[in-house]
Structure 1
């Protein structure tokens, strides 16, 4: 790519009188202020990105949103870029996280604005690297660096609404099998930055279209390479067939207080499993080789509540195959709770289990508990912290091995990668609190990307929906409605071959982060030298 000059240099090249023109317009040309046009571009870019995510699912708007933000930030000082980055981030995160409002509007707005803060360094970084040759590549790398930071810091991070999770059924999706979610985010951002590159080239030479031909051709060639290359990536969906069943028992009613009806929730899942067994005996459904219950199917500790143990054991014996049971279990000292996926065998009872390794801060455990409980009474709903598991969820379940993750762990690359050795991947989740919001369909979108990334069938079991079965190539085999009892039996491929993304692990992400840091440092040094020269 040919190097693009800064807006002020463009002005100088067109005549000293124009470059020196006083007033507000000159300030905007030099990028000394954001100005309303750039502000509107940033806000529109954030809203376009939101529209690319479920449930709206206008996936092509993700690159459009990146392009608008790149145009808004290009050539600005880092400080102004940081401010516009925050504004764009707020325009994006407030609507995309609207489901959090179910636990309180204050929590929703605070979390959204905290997430928008991560776009402050990204905005500054994009403003800086847009001065470098090949700036679309560096913008895309900076985007990945922002997501890497947001997904790790603090409290283990919050990687929800990553750019890749808007592209789970698009031409960019197959790239997940090569470099995972970070590569999909990078290529999506690159497509948008290349579009901005073409717009800049055309806008700078409106009377000399031939001068814009080369940069526009470069941008188009890059887009064709990204989209065309995806068609060359294999996403096989074959494998040894295993007949599975997913149970969705449903909850008594919406809202946080459904947890007070723990016995009713357990009975719903027990009842649906007995119904499944009856339909199998009648020949109406094929006999499954394994069954998956969701997270929180039993909020009664089966090891402390004999009635809960008996109900689960009877349902498992009735269906006659191992069941993965989501249950809350007290730790031995009684001070904490474990969020478990328990392998329950019809002959030997409960056996191997997985404990959720990434409990939700401020939801399943409370940082700074002594202080926050005094300030916010709502946190009294978290009387005990959830314990953190220490090992991956690869377990034997019936005829195959599964890799279990619980609820929003599906958003974390490492947690899912660690269990990709299983022949099937399982997501046990409880979305009742966030039902009929954008969060359940966004979680399903993440599962679709993970299926392609690791070449595995994914079984999603939710208490109230959305439950799903996703094929290894990302196709939806089954998808439930919300807040209805449901069950589904299907023969799915169990695969053992590893994808390129599995072999590379986190290497693509770290390579892109290092590229972003190097580009920002180089751009900052160049800018500093230019300021000294002036």
Structure 2
């Protein structure tokens, strides 16, 4: 058990190393392989014994990966990591049971994807940060993003790791089968290389010139509430400077301008006070630049005590129009689950940080792109980019370009910034669209459909990025295939698990056909005529 625990923890650390700030993507399949070997050692015990090694894999993975959650508080970082690590404990238990079946590497890999799918949607909307696909931007696996999406790429990485572990077990038990084991590994790794999908638009939909404004955050740079009026003024002034450059002929006029999430942290529709001043600053900048501006704003919701995080299209001479509302607010950061429960007041008295979220943020449901100056824009606000539903739905509905409005000021000096930018690169490849990132103080950038970073702005600076973007008018296969792969993997993993649980209750002949573990008789008596003979010892 001790060896399994140490191997599991080391495997989690390898998985973490695949992501920024280490960013060695080859460590991801190695981490999966180590986790499989750790639980395979326990296959002769009760399956529940694998939970602890699986939990250790999750902790070794997620605690370093999410170190930036410590900016919220060490308790939040540890609590979230333990909660999410428990999913890998459940995967480990399932993996031990699935190893009873033939072709178990397929079922164990499917269970890994099922684990990612479940923890990415539950509880409280889930948290998909740390999906294997999100570490593959500069690897051959990324060539498959436009074919089968993030789910398919995660499945391939998981399958590579599981097959690697299987190959080790096969070669150890049967040295003569090294060729077959190597062939299986090569086939999986080569799949995205021999079947790439060119998702780059052909130019038939035309181009649009887009400007992304990074206004920077006043004061220490990690608090968007430090000076709300100056925060908006920073973005207004940068936009007015862009307008002056256009008027002087120093740069072409943009077709649209994008401000980041939280470029106003007070309701710009207020009729008095700070909100009125902020709204006037936005109107001034929009009229100066003379083109639509997509503004990231915190807006009072119709329900009392609720707020909305929105991307709002401001048009010169018209004002505010279409809106995209953030689909995935952060639990305990942007809304408090169970706030209305009777026991909540006692809990909030113990955890003072909950007072920092006095109003709950409501989730949006928009799946249609925004029409911004005649350009169909798929919007994603901050963590939205890590979830499949919003981006892919808007692409399927005809979005021609992807825009990410983000406010990562709290995490500006942590790996979270680079992790999210890598996710955005993969979304660009998956959707076949250019991604324009407007960050409040970093990292803003322009990413091509091939994942190449065309432009970027340094963190903690004021900058305006301008790019002529080729618009896309067709959706790649990933838009349809990706979501269904997650559902299919979850369904197959559950069915295989039910079969594995039923296996001990099946007749001996059925166990011999379906199971991969050797059949052992409980008595020394010779087998009855026609009974199954003991299977060959092996993995």
Query: Normalising by structure 1, what TM-score?
Result: 0.89
2:287 to 313, 317, 320: 317
Q: Give me the whole-angstrom Cα distance separating, in 2, the residues matched to 1:79 and 1:456.
A: 45
Q: Give me the whole-angstrom Cα distance separating, in 1, the residues matched to 2:439 and 2:185.
A: 43
Q: Which residue of 2 aligns with 1:195?
A: 164
1:153 to 117, 122, 139: 122
1:126 to 95, 98, 101: 95
The 5-angstrom pairing of residues 76-475 of structure 1 reads: 76=42, 77=45, 78-205=47-174, 209-224=175-190, 226-230=191-195, 232-239=196-203, 240-254=206-220, 257-304=223-270, 305-369=275-339, 370-371=344-345, 372-392=347-367, 394-420=369-395, 421-475=398-452
Q: Shift in Å at residue 286 of structure 1? A: 2.3
Q: Shift in Å at residue 255 of structure 1? A: 6.7
The 5-angstrom pairing of residues 479-494 of structure 1 reads: 479-494=456-471
Q: Give me the whole-angstrom Cα distance separating, in 1, the residues matched to 2:262 and 2:368.
A: 17
Structure 1 residues 315, 88: closer, same or farther in 2, change over 3 A?
same
Contact 1:75 1:127 in 2 (8 A): no
Structure 1 residues 197, 390: closer, same or farther in 2, change over 3 A?
closer
Contact 1:176 1:501 in 2 (8 A): yes
Q: Which residue of 2 aligns with 1:22?
A: none
Structure 1 residues 255, 363: closer, same or farther in 2, change over 3 A?
farther
Query: Normalising by structure 2, what TM-score?
Result: 0.88
Structure 1 residues 490, 80: closer, same or farther in 2, change over 3 A?
same
Q: Give me the whole-angstrom Cα distance separating, in 2, the residues matched to 1:187 and 1:507.
A: 15
Q: Secondary structure at the match of 1:253?
A: coil
Q: Give me the whole-angstrom Cα distance separating, in 2, the residues matched to 1:106 and 1:357.
A: 26
Q: Could you give the per-residue CA deviations for residues 56-111 of structure 1, whole angstroms, max 9, x where no partner exists?
A: 21011111111111111125242122211001100000000011100111111111
Indicate the larger mover: 288-297 or 460-469.
Answer: 460-469
Q: Give me the whole-angstrom Cα distance separating, in 2, the residues matched to 1:317 and 1:220.
A: 58
Q: Shift in Å at residue 390 of structure 1? A: 3.5
Q: Give me the whole-angstrom Cα distance separating, in 2, the residues matched to 1:238 and 1:447.
A: 21
Structure 1 residues 255, 333: closer, same or farther in 2, change over 3 A?
same
Contact 2:300 2:308 in 1 (8 A): yes
Contact 2:221 2:460 in 1 (8 A): no
Q: Shift in Å at residue 334 of structure 1? A: 4.2
Structure 1 residues 301, 135: closer, same or farther in 2, change over 3 A?
same
Structure 1 residues 504, 375: closer, same or farther in 2, change over 3 A?
same
Q: Secondary structure at the match of 2:499?
A: helix
Q: Give me the whole-angstrom Cα distance separating, in 1, the residues matched to 2:406 and 2:312.
A: 14
What RMSD, in angstroms, separates the aligned Cα atoms of the two structures?
1.9
Q: Shift in Å at residue 520 of structure 1? A: 1.9
Q: Give me the whole-angstrom Cα distance separating, in 2, the residues matched to 1:162 and 1:83.
A: 21
Contact 2:296 2:405 in 1 (8 A): yes
Q: Give me the whole-angstrom Cα distance separating, in 1, the residues matched to 2:51 and 2:455.
A: 43
Q: Give me the whole-angstrom Cα distance separating, in 2, the residues matched to 1:75 and 1:521.
A: 22
Q: Which residue of 2 aligns with 1:515?
A: 492
2:14 matched to 1:42?
A: no
Q: Shift in Å at residue 283 of structure 1? A: 2.8
